[in-house]
Amino acid sequence: MNDWIRVRITERRMETDDVAAFVLEPALGAALPAYEAGAHIDVKLPNGLIRQYSLCGTPDRSGRYEIGVLCDASGRGGSICMHENVRLDDQIEISPPRNLFPLASMQERALLFAGGIGVTPILAMAQQLARLGTNFAMHYCARSTSRAAFRERIAVSPFADRVTFHFDDQPETVMDAKALLASPEAGTHLYVCGPSGFMDHILNTARAAGWAESNIHYEHFSAPAGGANGQDGFEIEVADDGTIIPVAQGQTALEALRSAGFDIPASCEQGICGACITTVVDGIPDHRDMYLSVAEQEANDCFTPCCSRALTPRLTIKI
């Protein structure tokens, strides 16, 4: 399980009407672990839920973390709780950062696409790339100027000239993804985060234009509609055996399997090494790993129980 870190909210401000930014600093003095752009943390909310939020601050300021939270009234209570119940000077617990959306180690150029609150990891990336001196361009889509979180921070940043805003209510700013993605190059990497419709649009356009899968990087900040997401619980049924194992909120499938007496190999437990790959015979996994290719994930015939979850209430697996 996570080694939870107790942090204090040292700054809380409204970025837009519905996005609150929180700055977290260690409650006990010890420095927070360093992280790279794209990393996220788990946050234990006062109401018991656990939610993931991308770190959006400049990655080298290890003294503090910053997250941006969109209040989603139709959500399942995580963001509302953050907005209503987490105040300045409050203490909460967070996990150490994990990065499932890292920048490629070598690239000549990066193209960043952010949709809505998906800007949080993308902003961290822009800051890191600017510091590294890597050539990049960022496209930030939002409903309107007033709904674009971190717009002011971007405007005063040293990379302001690399960021193009696209606002739904300003037709002259409309984004032409096809033109922007028309010429894939081996040294150019694409990073996308935003709502699923936005992501599908960018990713499909890129694939149609011939982008290599290895140059495409993305992170869903919310699971596809209708499915379980976040850290919600689900069930695992062991085929041939019939045992049904509940996977609790905040628990990994691997942990649940182990506590039920089913041991399977695992090593990194972050979805990197593929040691725990397990056959899925029924149900749809919510793939969170970096091991399987897109085609392998879409086949939905296996998953990595160390980090992946389920989009259906139950997954039937073979051990």
Give the three-state DSSP class for 108. coil
274 binds another protein (CB under 8 A): yes
Report in angstroms the alpha-carbon separations of 144 from 17, 51, 105, 115: 12, 26, 34, 12
Beta bridge partners of 46: none
Region of 67-75, 150-158, 235-243, 274-282 interacting with another protein (CB under 8 A): 274-282
- One symbol per residue from 96 to 135: x for binding another protein (CB under 8 A), - otherwise; what is it? ----------------------------------------
Region of 13-21, 111-119, 239-247, 263-271 interacting with another protein (CB under 8 A): 263-271
- Which spans in 133-195 are helix H? 151-155, 177-180
- One symbol per residue from 164 to 193: x for binding another protein (CB under 8 A), - otherwise; what is it? ------------------------------
Region of 76-84, 217-225, 226-234, 273-281 interacting with another protein (CB under 8 A): 273-281
Region of 91-99, 133-141, 268-276, 280-288 interacting with another protein (CB under 8 A): 268-276
Taking the C-alpha atoms of residue 218 and residue 47, their distance in angstroms, rounded to an integer, is 29
Amino acid at 75: G
Give the three-state DSSP class for 219. strand
Taking the C-alpha atoms of residue 27 and residue 7, their distance in angstroms, rounded to an integer, is 5
CB of 206 to another protein, least distance (A): 21
Tell me which H or E stretch contains 43. strand 40-44
Contacts of 64 (CB under 8 A, 6+ apart): 10, 23, 24, 25, 32, 57
Query: In terms of CB distance, is 135 or 270 closer to another protein?
Result: 270
277 binds another protein (CB under 8 A): yes
Binding site for another protein (CB under 8 A): 261, 263-268, 270, 272-275, 277, 290-291
